[in-house]
Amino acid sequence: MKILEVLQKEAILVNLNARDKKGVLDELATPVARIANQDKEDLVRVLIERERLGSTGIGGGVGIPHGKFKNLKSLCLGFGLSHKGVDFESIDGLPTHLFFLLVTPENSTGLHLRVLAKISRILKNDEFKQRLLNAVDSDEIFSIIKEVDEEF
């Protein structure tokens, strides 16, 4: 599965304003909930419940908040960039700048894991991460992801 098959441009946020984990989840959930035709507060609640199990801040400036949502019909993906960085309780204790928000239907464990694995794999590429960090708008982020999406 290609990332751009599920990441819509309107779910790409280039200048996250939030300064804490809850704020980031709320901000990222806004366009994703609209695209998925779901209640944003319910979506945020699912994401916070998942965070209680352990932070999805995987280190290296990256966070992949994710969760399974009962009434969702198909996988939804969002992206956020925080130039300032956010304390996302990352495993390395460093600020998090790049976020991929993933929500999948409750009964789609295989798909959920495959997409998480793909996102994790491409985010190991330091040049890719640096290009995302330097991006100025959603079109540029979309293009950067498209290039890497073709390679994996």
In this predicted structure, the answer to whether residue 152 has a pLDDT above a threshold of 70 is no
Name the residues annotated as catalytic.
Answer: 66
Which CATH number fits the domain that encloses residue 73? 3.40.930.10
Give yes or no for a contact between 99 and 141, defined as CB atoms under 8 angstroms apart.
Answer: no
85 Rama sector, left if φ>0, alpha if ψ -120 to 50, beta otherwise: left
Count: domains in the chain: 1
d(CA 152, CA 89): 29
Average pLDDT over residues 122-143: 95
- Report pLDDT digits (tens) over 67-115: 998 888 899 999 999 999 999 999 999 999 999 999 999 888 788 888 8
Write the DSSP assignment of 64-84 as a string of letters: --EEEETT-SS-EEEEEEEEE
| Structural domain harbouring 87 | 3-151
- Report pLDDT digits (tens) over 102-125: 999 988 878 888 888 899 899 999
d(CA 117, CA 43): 22
Where are any strands of DSSP class E within 6-89? 7-13, 57-59, 62-63, 66-69, 76-86
